[in-house]
Amino acid sequence: MEANGGDRRKEHPTAEELSRFLSGTATREERRRVAVHMLRGCESCALILRILLEPEPPPEGAYDEILLKLTHQLPAFRDSAPF
């Protein structure tokens, strides 16, 4: 229990704590606190963790160059394929 009477284990971790937890930079106490909180089944924190784990979408046009190369090379590949 904290001095103000609140039980820190019942509080939600901050977004920063969750981010440090995922990146492996949380302190031992933060890791323990987040793990205990998550084991208690907090759905809102689980949602935040899922969001933090989602990869960033690629920038627009990121695949254009490679797709253009493949499109140009496909006929030559198809003509030389043994099947």
| pLDDT tens, residue by residue, 10-65 | 689 998 999 999 999 999 999 999 999 999 999 999 999 999 899 888 899 889 98
Count how many domains the chain has: 1
Residue 74 in domain: no
Residue 82 in domain: no
Contact indicator for 45, 18 with CB cutoff of 8 Å: yes
Q: Could you tell me the sign of the dihedral formed by the alpha carbons of 34, 37, 42, 44, in that order?
A: negative
Residue 65 in domain: no
Residue 8 in domain: yes
Residue 7 in domain: yes
Say what the pTM is: 0.56
Residue 76 in domain: no
Residue 50 in domain: yes
**Domain extent for 44:** 1-56
Q: What are phi and psi of 6, to 5 degrees?
A: -80, 150
> What's the confidence (pLDDT) of residue 2?
43
DSSP one-letter code for 8: G
